[in-house]
Amino acid sequence: MKFDVLLNHIGSLGKYQRLMILWIYLGASMDGYHYGISVFILPTKQHRCALPNLPNDTYKSQGNYHDTLVNQTIPYEFKDDQYVYEKCHIYNASLGENGTKTECNSWVYDHSVFSTSVIEDMNLVCDRSLMSANCIVVFFFGVLIGVVTLGNVSDIVGRRTVMMYSILLQGSAALGSAWVNNIYLFYLLRFLTGIGCSGSYIPTFILATEIVGLKYRTFVAIIEQAFFTVGLLVLCGLAYLLDDWRLLTTVISIPSFIFAATYFLFIPESPRWLISSGRLEEADKIIKRIARINNKEIPVEYFSEISAEMTPKVKFWKVFTSKKLTCWCAIMCFCWISVSVVYFGLALNSQDLGGNVFVNFSLGAMVEFPAYFFCIIFLDRMGRKKLQSLTMVVGGVSCLATVLPILLGNSSYQWLVLLFAMIGKLGITSAFGAVYLFGCELFPTVLRNSAMGLFSTCGRIGAVVAPYIAELVSLVPITVASVQKQLNLQYILLVNHILSD
């Protein structure tokens, strides 16, 4: 008796599965905290050089005398109908406004939105400004390493073990990062946090889909992403209430230890993995527990007939011996990179959309819910290819349209940037949900795990690139948006001409 057939007898999505999935998905939702926290601890902050010999200097004006000192000490230029102070230079102290400009080594920061930040505490401005993007990149590089390694590890030692130790690593590294003052140590801890996030999220997805029946797997797969969005919204609320980046990071780290303890005490291993590993006695106990909680009867003959569902091992490199599979693989890699660049580019740059960063971040998260609902309803009705092409068009056109206020040259149209960015986020989130299932189903079972590992790696490459593209956008927004739009359109043409439904 195959395990999927057995699930039909003991419950494909009964009380046991619902409780299990709810709890492990709540644990996975904490990934949203660590993915999104960069918006609140590494914000773009206005700053200028600190006035020498004025210990209580602030970015905010302290009155006419203070303004006079600033004007005499800090170089400024007329830009966009207003005077703007230079951020990295100061006049020579002995000559004042008539002197030469020199680089400064201390700054004051705008506290109108965020009272503290990593950027301010570690002075990641001027010639150190790229270090801010590096903080985001090292996190996603950690996620990439986790994707490459921990998926295979979970096939060897089990889903539960990897989930438990990964979420413990996630919490420990994040908690440590809250109290360091050295940027390179901060890099290391964010890197380890990324590995922990990857190891807690992917095995959770695998475990959840392995304990439900076949007809519920699409729904279960999409719902995990919705829990990730819940994590983003909780993070935004905490960031609004806790106006201190160290306290915020500490608070979001603590639940990891609670979930690690509950995984150890209450969460059992995947029975499907236990069966495939030959650990039938352990699987038998869990199967009986599922049947008892679901109030179902186990067929008497089930264990004498159940098969290990072992599949022959095939090396992934054999994909590239088939021109068709090679082409599919290349297209899906391109898609994952493109979708990830847009998704994380929008998610991590809420402050650049104008208006309130908390409102922008919340809106960007909330539009993901209708995107996931759209996927659940139409993935099977429209087919993966049509849905993905449609959502890529919506996302691409909307992202390109965000340059309209720049072309119109009128700041009163800034609301259009937020509107088109939210429509773009809606489209690209739907595309993310579609591409995940599309890529999984394109490949034979014996190659599926390896293929998804490759695609996830490509997606994390896109996430690593996104912070640097954000820096480029500030210089050439029209060019970058146009390039991204062309990438999306080229992908859609390839999908519709080459890939099957």
- Domain match, 379 and 350 both: yes
Q: Is the pLDDT of residue 50 over 80?
A: yes
- Domain match, 29 and 59 both: no
Mean pLDDT of the chain: 83
> pLDDT category, 78, cuts 50, 70, 90?
confident
b/e map of 138-150 (b: 16 or more CB within 10 Å)?
bbbbbbbbbbeeb
> pLDDT category, 308, cuts 50, 70, 90?
very low
Query: CA separation (Å) from 176 to 10, 17, 168?
Result: 44, 34, 12
Cβ contacts of 129 within 8 Å, gap of 6 or more: none
pLDDT in tens, 238-297: 999 999 999 999 999 999 999 999 999 999 999 988 888 888 889 989 999 999 999 998
> CATH number, domain at 17?
1.20.1250.20
- Domain match, 191 and 282 both: yes
Q: Residue 264: give the domain boundaries.
A: 1-43+116-310
Output the DSSP codes for 60-104. Answer: S---HHHHHHHHHHS-EEEETTEEEE-SSEEE-TTTGGGS-EEE-
pLDDT value of residue 396: 80
Q: Which of 21-30, 155-164, 292-301, 390-399 has the highest mean pLDDT?
A: 21-30
Q: Which of 278, 310, 342 is the last residue of a domain?
A: 310
Q: Which of 310, 341, 362 is the last residue of a domain?
A: 310
Question: What total of structural domains would you count in the chain?
Answer: 3
- Domain match, 157 and 34 both: yes
Comparing 400 with 481, the larger pLDDT belongs to 400
- Domain match, 221 and 302 both: yes
- Domain match, 80 and 204 both: no
- Domain match, 96 and 164 both: no
Q: Which of 60, 95, 110 is the last residue of a domain?
A: 110
- Domain match, 318 and 294 both: no
- Domain match, 83 and 167 both: no
pLDDT value of residue 412: 66
pLDDT value of residue 422: 87
- Domain match, 146 and 269 both: yes
- Domain match, 395 and 352 both: yes
- Domain match, 211 and 326 both: no
